[in-house]
Amino acid sequence: MFKSPLTPKGGTQNHMTSIHLTTFISAPIDRVFDLSRSINLHKISTAHTRETAIAGVLTGLINENETVTWQAKHLFKQRQFTSKITEMSRPDSFTDEMIKGDFKSFRHQHHFKKTNNGTIMIDLLEFESPYGVLGKLTNRFFLKNYLEKLLVKRNQVIKEYAETMKWKAILV
């Protein structure tokens, strides 16, 4: 039986909402991997929400077992979200998980596959809202779309920086 990367270790599918995005970037895997974990580039990709790092790793590249607390205005409210890099295998993958925030759970796996002409970047995001059935309805009909748009925007910025000389301003 095929097990999705989103299937928990016990083997049964959970009830979390998931997002799966694949982005091709015409740049070396090491560059894409590092841009994806850059605090500075994350700030650029979320400028429209005025997201800023307020605790933990504030600039540069975040590494395994490090945390960052983000503060931003999302859905009409100032929010804080603390995540930790719980797994990292350079340059193939890393995982960040919420340790404090508005979600019941939040896990974002970042995978990178080298190709002849660039890198395939795969985002696997699982999240669950609190509030039981109301939270599940919010996930399905609103929050999934909202988060997917944020990820697509982030990936467009990573792609733009990785494929041009802009990456040199981030990865010094």
pLDDT in tens, 163-172: 999 999 999 8
Q: What is the DSSP string of 113-142?
A: EEETTEEEEEEEEEEE-SSHHHHHHHIIII
**CA–CA separation, 19 vs 123, rounded Å?**
8
Q: Report the CATH fold assignment for 19-170.
A: Alpha-D-Glucose-1,6-Bisphosphate; Chain A, domain 4 (3.30.530)
Nearest to 75 by CA among 154, 146, 128: 146
Entry pTM: 0.88
Q: How many whole angstroms separate alpha carbon 66 and alpha carbon 57?
A: 7
Of 118, 101, 89, 111, the closest CA to residue 36 belongs to 111
pLDDT in tens, 82-128: 999 999 999 999 999 999 999 999 999 999 999 999 999 999 999 99
Closest CA to 121 of 18, 15, 34, 4: 34
